[in-house]
Amino acid sequence: MIPRQRVGWTGLWGAALAASFSPLRVQLLFAIVAIGIIGMAHGASDLEVVKRERQLPFLTSYGLVIIVCLIWWHCDPTLALPGFLLASAIHFAVEDAPQGHLAERLARGVSMIAAPATLHLSEFRTILHQAGLFSALPDAAALAIAVAGGVCAISLIIAGVIRHDLRLTGGMLALLLLPAFVGFSMGFLIMHALPQTRQRRDRLGCTGYIGYLHATWPVLTAAIMLAAVTTFMMLPADKTGIQSLFAALAALAVPHMLITPWFESRHHE
């Protein structure tokens, strides 16, 4: 019998390849499912890793940051978008290789955000423009991002080959080769979300992903509802849906990146 994990990865890669040869709207849909549903599961256990006596201030802080993010994105997306991307790069650098050398951690953070621009620069610039940048990304800045992403991704691919690290090699190749939306989605899942979900699952003592989802489904459901409401509220002014996706992701990701580490029980034991 073929292991379920192999079937899951085969299906995921198949969907990614199919989306890669589809219009941008299909690629956006793939990103919504991959990042907003599958990837969101690793943050759904944030409440479970906070001690019970700290959960009320945690939820209060978490909610306030969500509100601030949504207001900020609505009022000034030109500033909110670069801030979100920078915070994401730092988060990936810190979380994805906690024991790694500083150079590797920096390369991981940069490549997660910038590598999709290396071979798909025009699409990358279009996405950023539709996500909230009122003016097009300057040529010099776009080229710098593309080069930095390519250099970091290639260096990590070489490191992955030397270490026989299929996750690192596969994640970087996805970021580099696949179209921007699809590449980031796959890189995010391979390099960050799925390993983090596995760690959280083991930490909570769940025997499998079904048990993990059973333990976290109220928060995961609330997160999906918040993302849906955010998208619905922004749709009249967002014909492509890209800005809505980024706003919803920021509202859910920023408190996960900034608030959870301060309240996580392992930092207070």
Q: What pLDDT, on a 0 to 100 scale, did the predictor assign at position 88? A: 95
Residue 243: per-residue pLDDT: 85
User: Which of 52, 40, 156 shows the shortest CA–CA distance to 109?
Assistant: 156
The residues with which 50 forms a beta bridge, in sequence order, are 264
Per-residue pLDDT in tens (0 to 9) along the chain, 269 residues: 346 677 788 999 999 999 999 998 899 999 989 998 889 888 889 998 898 899 999 999 999 999 999 899 888 888 899 999 999 999 999 999 888 899 999 999 999 999 999 999 999 999 998 887 767 678 888 999 999 999 999 999 999 999 999 999 999 999 999 999 999 999 999 999 999 999 999 988 888 888 898 888 888 888 888 888 877 776 556 667 788 888 888 999 999 999 999 998 654 44
Q: Which of 96, 117, 101, 98 is nearest to 171 (CA)?
A: 96
pTM of the model: 0.90
How many Cβ atoms are within 10 Å of 5's Cβ, its own excluded?
9
| pLDDT given at position 237 | 61
Question: Smallest Cα–Cα separation from 27: which of 134, 238, 186, 193?
Answer: 186
Q: What is the pLDDT of residue 46?
A: 93
Q: CB pairs under 8 A, 24+ apart, for 18-26?
A: 19/179, 19/181, 19/182, 20/178, 20/179, 20/182, 24/123, 24/181, 25/240, 25/241
Nearest CA among 269, 267, 257 for reference residue 46: 257
Q: Which of 68, 61, 83 is nearest to 131 (CA)?
A: 83
What is the DSSP track for 32-59?
HHIIIIIGGGGGTTTGGGB-GGGHHHHH
Rounded to an integer, what distance in angstroms lies between the CA atom of residue 129 and that of residue 178?
A: 20
Helix, strand or coil, per DSSP, at residue 264: strand
